[in-house]
Structure 1
């Protein structure tokens, strides 16, 4: 199980450090319907992570091992996922704003002030389960767990660890704001400003590192 946890830790951190969902959560916390939308978004975010990693854990557990115990099929999948992450890293780096240019944000962020809790839940689910960057890391985590040869209990514990880490950066500001809203507004606004201006740089470096790690893990399966 230790090997499986070691494999999923950088992937969980990759999802956790992704700036866009953190920015979305902060905007919801600064909106008129802060409590309902932020809790809905957090629930959707957690559910999306769970669905992605559980589905691909179950699918990858069906991958047969070769006679010498290696899993070349799982290795190939990891190599492909790693290459896809490197491609996204390069694209993200090219999209970073130049000089003092104002970064472009997704158009759906302008509608957050009028968003209901149900729509926020759906948005959280889509960003965690279907966003290409997060989905690739969820798939890689599922393949790592499913191919590790662990028991059902060990796989469940590993998934729980993955979900807790991956969801932490959205959960912490939401819980902190709901506990002390009057003191959190200014720090959240400052964090949002920094994340908006550094989103592309952060994600490109993050995807580069994780892509290399996933490729290295894939090579270990041969």
Structure 2
């Protein structure tokens, strides 16, 4: 479990999905769209991590399979990929602007919000790399279903907490959510660059 916690936190603190769900909560159709996004976000994390665990078990990336060398090489490759993404993000930090889909997110339907959540969690390169790393780590031990659940709960908490808090106290949450959205929009590139750099180094260090 200690092995997967950093990867789960890495997925959880992704700025883009947090900004997306906050924009949905501040939109007219706040309830349905935000719940749809949360559903898609959780489904994407479960899908990506579960597939990685199944593949790791299938090709023998487990202690029983004796593939510790292969696991190390995969972690090294994943770490390098994250470092490349960090460099790319840093170089384009001044050119970063809100994507077109974010500008129209206040009109998104619950179904489209669910699809968006699925794509941001399962297809996003940074999250996908972390899910692969977590899947390999989970395959190294027992209680794999439990570990997938724990990974998903932690990874999804930063999207789930605003949705739940808004459902409980919508009026009180508008101010804090708007402030958090503004801060994340201003510091999105820096936060992403630091995350990619840190987890890239962590994976390379584990591989070595």
Counterpart CA distance in 2 for 1:21 and 1:179 is 21
TM-score, with length taken from structure 2: 0.95
**CA distance in structure 2 between the partners assigned to 1:67 and 1:39 by the alignment:** 41
1:82 aligned partner? 79
1:20 aligns to 2:7 (yes or no): no
After superposing on structure 2, the runs of 4+ consecutive aligned residues of structure 1 that deviate more than 3 Å are 63-70
**1:160 counterpart residue number:** 149
The residue aligned with 1:115 is: 108
Q: Residue 104 of structure 1: SS of its match in structure 2?
A: coil
Cα distance in 2 between the residues matched to 1:131 and 1:13:
15
Give the Å deviation of 1:67. Answer: 9.5
1:73 aligns with 70
- How many Å separate the matches in 2 of 1:214 and 1:202? 18
Structure 2 distance, partners of 1:54, 1:138, is: 9
List alignment gaps of at least 5 residues for structure 2.
Answer: none
Distance 1:39 1:72, change over 3 A: same
Secondary structure class of the residue paired with 2:3: helix
Calculate the TM-score normalised by the size of structure 1: 0.89
RMSD (Å), alpha carbons: 1.7
Instruction: Tell me by how many angstroms 1:68 deviates.
Output: 10
- Which deviations, in whole Å up to 9, do the C-alpha atoms of 1:133-172 show, x marking residues without a partner? 11111111111112x1x23xx1111111111110000000
Aligned to 1:134: 127
The match for 1:48 is 44
Q: 1: CA distance between counterparts of 2:65 and 2:111? A: 50
Task: Show structure 1 runs of 5+ residues with no match.
Answer: none
CA distance in 2, matches of 1:70, 1:114: 49
Which of 8, 28, 49 matches 1:32?
28
Mean Cα deviation higher: 208-217 or 37-46: 208-217
Moved more, 128-137 or 34-43: 128-137
- Paired with 1:112 and 1:200, the residues of 2 have a C-alpha distance of 20
> Does the aligned pair in 2 maintain the 1:33–1:113 contact within 8 Å?
yes
Distance in 1, matches of 2:130 and 2:174, equals 31
Q: CA deviation at 1:112?
A: 0.9
